[in-house]
Chains A and B, each alone.
Chain A
Amino acid sequence: MVKKIPIGPFHPILEEPEFFELHVDGERVVGIDMTIGWSHRGIELLSEHKTWDQVPFLVERICGICSCSHPYAYVKAVEDLCGVEPPLRAQLIRCIAAELERLHSHFLWTGLAGHFLGYNTVFMWTWRFREPILDVLEAVTGNRNHYAVMKPGGVRRDIPQEEIPNILKLLDELEKNNSMLTKAILDDPVIHARTKGVGVFNKDQCRLYGALGPTARSAGYDVDDRRDHPIDAYDKVKFNVILCEHGDVFDKAVVRQLENFESIKIIRQCLKLLEGTKPGEICAEIREVPPGEGIGVYEAPRGEVLHYVRSNGGNMPLRHKVRAPSFNNILTNELSVLGNSVADAGLITAAVDPCYSCTERVGVVNRASGERRILTEADLIRLSHAKTEEIRKRFAALSGNG
């Protein structure tokens, strides 16, 4: 007998509204319906009333966590349209801001996943490690989150020379902290039991669904736009692309943890290259935008962001198409939740790091009798914590007897 469990629109683990309806048979999930659109504000239609320079401020606010990604892809689309290349110093500043944002986003995800699993310490520690990144971003760009550093043709602000030692100090600290976290999280047997084999999405499915970012790389689907469609300074630095093979929640965590090391490497190389550029040359001027089309892609923390702009020669875009990576990745939940339990469903939908937020209620509908049971966010988290506890007890008993 199949029951339906609605989750949302207000998800226990992340802050944006999302609505899932799980079809369950006993404790196993056999299907899922997803309703999105709660945060649909009509940004593409708003862009058509903003000038080319005003659009980055608008697209920043598509998502607050990856608030550097959307302006970056947009300015690359405009530069593709105009055929303009920004000066090297601007390219490096963009890469530095973008990689710092990747670091803060991955730490954020690790914290939230830990919180959902019942490891509140992980949540508190990762978010504490994240704070110095936001301090550096504030010193360099002016704001903790919406940096407003991108501009078609270059960047709006230069990195002051006196901030660079602070950035280097931050990177050393982060490397230490990330190593500690990686060892602590990835060696924990309870986390292994909770996340290995859970929410599997394999390589062929990734290809058919167009999965992107860590979601795809965790399954071995090799797609990383920093290497494949390199923009700005990404072809001037060396880094590795992290690939795993199973595509479960554990691999998704591994990919994100190891990518932090790569980001630190990239920032160090960019800072070194920055010494060879002249301070002040941060923007190539774009006098007017000719008619035509431009495609801009950038590898955000969640995957590839694609912006398409079309111009008819005016001072506003004729059409601006935004495709966030979560649009492709959330669809993968269709297959990855099947066969798992309700306690894991929240974790699986959050493992693709959706750029949404949800909270509100989970309702359980018994299709046969029409009876409706409501689970709150607290209940869903309690279910998840209970499962972790049970696994911990099992391990404790085993090690006690063995």
Chain B
Amino acid sequence: MEREEVKRRIAEKFGAKVRIAERSPKRVFVYAENEIWTDLARFLFNDLGARYDTGAAVDDRDGVEVMFFFPFDKEHYFVTIKTFAAKPNPTLNSIAAHIPGAKWIEREMFEMYEVNFLNHPDLRPVLRADTRPADYYAAKREVKDEHETVRQRDDGEARADEVAGRPPKGKNP
């Protein structure tokens, strides 16, 4: 479906609840609130014939912005649905029950940003090690500051060895 037609039909169906921004001939961004974002996604997927691609999340300071990409292949452009979940306890409706391909990406957004997807069939971490604590959300802004302090080089014996050109220690059993 052509870009202008898609924009018209979205505006017709959802009216003032969405804001459509066309950044370039190939990139259209649609901002929607949590209440209707799943309806908008299903409208694009089922009625307008878009392809489900994937999702992404960004931690803005006061909440998590979640976006899903729905390309229209025949017409060579991407429509990206953006929605926002405010902190604390960011919560969004889940689309995984309607589009099974979204199951893992929503789990990843949950385990990285603590976004709670309501009605997800199986919301648990997908990449996290089982030795990590249950409330370790790696990409949350608060947790990232911790990574950055650990990222200092550890000035210990290993560093001294490296500087002096001594070989690393490994024992022969």
Residues of A within 8 A of B (CB): 36-37, 40, 42, 44-45, 49, 80, 83, 207-211, 222-223, 228-230, 292-293, 295, 297, 304, 306, 308, 310, 318-319, 321, 323, 327-328, 331, 334
Contact = CB atoms under 8 A, between A and B. Distances in A.
16 contacts: A42-B138, A45-B138, A45-B144, A207-B52, A210-B53, A210-B101, A228-B73, A229-B26, A229-B71, A229-B73, A229-B78, A292-B23, A295-B78, A295-B80, A331-B100, A331-B104
Interface in B19-69: 23-24, 26-27, 29, 51-54, 56-59, 67, 69
The contact size tier of chain B is 35 or more
B129 interface: yes
Contacts of A45: 138-139, 144, 147
A310 B58 CA distance: 9
B99 interface: yes
B126 A37 contact: yes
Contacts of B125: 37
Chain B interface main SS type? mixed
A37 B54 contact: no
Contact of B100 (A209, A295, A321): A209
A327 B129 contact: no
B54 A327 contact: yes
Contacts of B29: 293
B3 interface: no
B73 A327 contact: no
Pairs of residues from A and B, 6 with the lowest C-beta to C-beta distance, nearest first: A210-B101, A37-B127, A228-B73, A321-B56, A209-B101, A40-B127
A49 to B, nearest CB: 8
Nearest to A328: B101
B129 to A, nearest CB: 7
Nearest to A235: B76
A328 B55 CA distance: 11
B105 interface: yes
Contact of A223 (B51, B57, B58, B104): B51
B24 A210 contact: no
A211 B104 CA distance: 13
Contacts of B129: 37
Contacts of A328: 54, 101
B128 interface: yes
